Structure 1
Amino acid sequence: MSVQPWGEAGSGHPPGKRPTGGWQPAPAVSPQAAMRAGHADRDRTLDVLKAAFAEGRLSVQEYEQRHEAVAASQTYGQLAALVADLPSGPMTAPPAVVATPVPATFMAVPPPRARPTNVLAVVSLVASLVGLSAPAVVVGHIARSEIRRRDMDGDWAAVLGLVVGYLGCAFWTLLILIGIA
């Protein structure tokens, strides 16, 4: 019978400490080590093992043993122990503890803000439809300038007012030229 340096002979427990019965969790090095691991954590650990095997850091037997142990692991601490001697390992803390910023892809989309419609754009559209082509063109250009500068809605109305206004100017110019000839 051998005597363990830290406990009573053959008991496997520290002096004066006897199990009280029932299931007791193993003491963890850190609070995160006792946290339960998920499938994604096991997958990351397997990726580390695969990389170590591919780099020649593990033999076939070591890789197979550790691969089986990963499937049986239930906590972060167990997973970390399997890759502790390798250059990289699984996260030792859950993602909430690690202070990494959330990628913009996963951020919530802010609700669209209401942008005011430019009044001059509407005036340009109405003037061009009424037949006031020259004023419609002038007001349309002013409206587009304000829309860009102030980030407003109504660009469609300003552009439509400009198109119809230019067509009206061309029509009246053609009529005048035909009348002169």
Structure 2
Amino acid sequence: MAVQPWGEQDFGAAKPPASTPHAPVAPPPTMPYHAMPPVAMPQAAMPQSAMRAATADRERTVDVLKAAFAEGRLSAAEYGERFEAASTAQTYGQLARLVADLPAGPMVAPQMVSPQLAGPLVVPVPQTFLAPPPPRRTNAVAVTSLVLGLLCVPTGGLLGVPAVITGHIGRRQAAERNEEGDGMAVTGIVFGWLSIAFWGLLFLLAVASG
């Protein structure tokens, strides 16, 4: 029995069938360029200024013009012209031009300042003006003591005792009522005691001479 080589041994594996020629595949039919349907291309976004304005937009613009006329920002002729233009405006751009120079119209956004370039925030502190306290009243009894003390000189010291009595009363009332007049009362008391001392000295001299 002849032994086949290792590469030529047959272990019962199925051999692949012989390839059969395939029929050529026809390419898909092509459509002429002029017969292809048109492709919808995205349109450019319409600017907001070109959009048509509504009646409410025109009414808001007229309100801005009325406020500017009432504040004196527009003359009567300017207000009339802009009112007619706002009533017949068709787009947002036409309305914006009518109020562009007014406070309530389009305003430029404030520029952003870098925190590194911005200086320290300074908050003004309002000064508090304190009202001065009301003037203190002057005690009337202390004033009376001063007057009586001063009159002791021309009257020869006859008002010395009343000056001393009213002086002590005036000092006590001024302290209790937080009033002015303590110095006046002290002056009246001093003049009063001087007058009393003067009359006391005269009395002693009269007694000694008698």
- Is the pair's TM-score, using the shorter chain for normalization, greater than 0.5? no
| Higher share of residues assigned helix | 1
**Structure number with bigger Rg:** 2
**TM-score (normalised: structure 1):** 0.43
